[in-house]
A and B are shown apart, each in its own frame.
Chain A
Amino acid sequence: MSKESADKKVGLDRSFGGLVRTDLQSGIPVETFYSPRDVAHLEYEQDSGDPGEYPYTRGIYPRMYRDRLWIKSFIVSYATAEETNQAFKDNIASGQTGLRCLADLPTQSGIDPDHPSAWNAMMCGGVSTYALSVYERMLEGLPLEDVDYELAHSSISSALMFYGMFPALMENQGLDIARLRGANINDPFRARLVYNTPEWPNEINRRICLDLVEFSARHTPKWKAIAPNGVDPQQTGANVIEELAGCLGVATAVYGELIEKRGVSLDDIGATVFSLDAESDFFETIAKFRAARRMWARIAKEKLGARTPRAMSLRIGIRTSGMSLTTQKPLNNAARVTLQILSCVLGGVNSLDASSIDEAIGLPSLEARTFNLDAQHIVTHEANVPMVADPLGGSYYLEWLTDHIEKGVNDYLAEIEAHGGMWNCLESGWLRKNIEASRMKAQLEKRDRKRIIVGVNAFEGEGGLINNAISDTAYKVPTEEDRRRNVCALQELKQRREPRKVKDTLTELFRAVKEGRNVVRPTIEAVKAYATIGEVVGVVRLGYGLNYDPFDAVDRPAFLDELR
């Protein structure tokens, strides 16, 4: 053999690619196997129960997916209302069964497209839904009654404004708002902890969140006006314990205040919805869903006075992890998302927003969306996974892990109480500090290759034609010309609407804010008059004696001068 060919000889290492850790993604150490000894302290009736029975560990319906498959719901929100409308229609044809709406980042921060800070994120990450005129185009031809809408917006101001769009649209068309179905996140903790948008301080968020939950309980009973959110805290860095404790803490804090101050009981509300994350760690994710249902049932019954089974049941809405997706070799994201879908179905979730393989690069292309709908159809019809409820129930490992997560979450909730409760922990920065520590721990594990991300810190290799095609076909951000057209459309709307109606409805909103009345009906009327997000946000601020503009960069419009 020549020296040259000896140098080219391939070495083969039997241990290459072996395990690099013995704990789960959230740092839960696990044994090599589990046996009846590890679950001997658990009682079937008390800790599991059959599906549809308290404490709902195994699912909230007796027949689970045989009667109702999870809702296949994902955010559809592109740069323009027209593209978004078309995408909704195309996705419905491929099997989407729930409609999730979002807005671009300026809108979610409470400012209009003509605000000086809006330009560089305008129409990025979603439609610039500054007023009802945009919703009319975005949802044109789509049903409003008896279908599931979900609003995923970051801020409480967006929750108020975009909830308001639905009664406004429905009443304008002579439809019955009691037949509005769906949920919005409206989580004042996530709004501060994750997004920290500047438009409203906690004091306003806390009040408006309750206004919305109260109004919805009375007028749109099939709408869940709060869905405590663990997805975004986890995407920010929280581990599974912090995620679940956060959701339970939020629900307890908000519903506790609702019961005490607004006279609405949990039995009036019915089922609670949590918006949870599906991460790549397979068993940890499944166990989290089971623990979430069991813990909520116990809290609702024991702490919040729920008496009806519905009020003790937790519906789980999912957004699969965007953080787990990579720009490197994006084809690998197909494997990640498929496993996350499987963990959701094995965990008995009720609504599923599966990310697309190109979402690390841009908003999803239609083909990528069709793929993740098809993946769910394959799980259903070819793999036959959903036929039997909680198929992993009784597994020594999974039952131990479900119990272990419940204990960890209870310990964390006790720590939150010891630090003064949820609101204090939010305001003191304690919650944030913990999430940041968890995020840094994860980052360092990645750096040290103790948390392997295939294609990023191990098994890098080169992508080829298929991977490049995925990158190339992801949705692109709007041009500056597109943005100019959007600002023009806003200006035209302001010319076209009836100034008297805008002024009167915003004045009534201002008074409701000042007088401590529920602001939701006045908001709906302002929305009908084509008031903009910036105006609604600004008028609420004025009602609290703040400057009109959260950025202090623009003056209040002259027609609102009298609001003092």
Chain B
Amino acid sequence: MKKEEGKYFYCAIKSKEEKNFGKIGLNNEEVYTIPYGDIAAVVSDSPMTDYELTEDNTKKHENVIKEIMNQYSVVPAEFGTTIKNEIILKRLLKKAYNPTAESLKLVENMVELGVKIVQTDKTVLVDDQQKKILTSEITESLKSKAKEAKTCDLFSERLVLNASFLVNKDRIDTFSEEIERLKNKYQKLKFLYSGPWAPHNFVYIKIGTEGVEIKKSGSN
């Protein structure tokens, strides 16, 4: 069978070496690094296709990143990023070397933790002002245990808070303890706590028509 020239791009890591992570990629392809200087792209061979944003595909994408996160800090690439061939990928890495290296520094030893707070039948938070006070109180107390925080889209009317926190791996326990304390304090609210994830909400690589972009928290 003809080897695919396209490269599905999962994330960037700090590494000079060519490394193989096994057949854990999309379409069960081998995941490996393509280094440029002291950074490397983690990729698998792939046809140039528009990957559907299905649960299976996103899980596979995220599982690869999680596996890499066991050994490295990562700057994730946007889901579905496929590059025509290795030569183009290396050109992109060259072009985006400085922002990628900077971003890798920002997320070194960091993970993202997600917190969603949901109203239950028992909760009555009709007042917007009441909601605002509550969310800012919770966000501030969690922010104190994190390096950065980002509030995300309230995609459901049931959601009171949807936020992500960039937390040092060594402080995950402290952050989790704070979640427990808040859970006890606000027993009528339901907390959904997830992670550790790659820091998608704080930094990610986006490749578009204008080349490669590194999106950092707060930048559009």
Q: Do A and B bind each other?
A: no
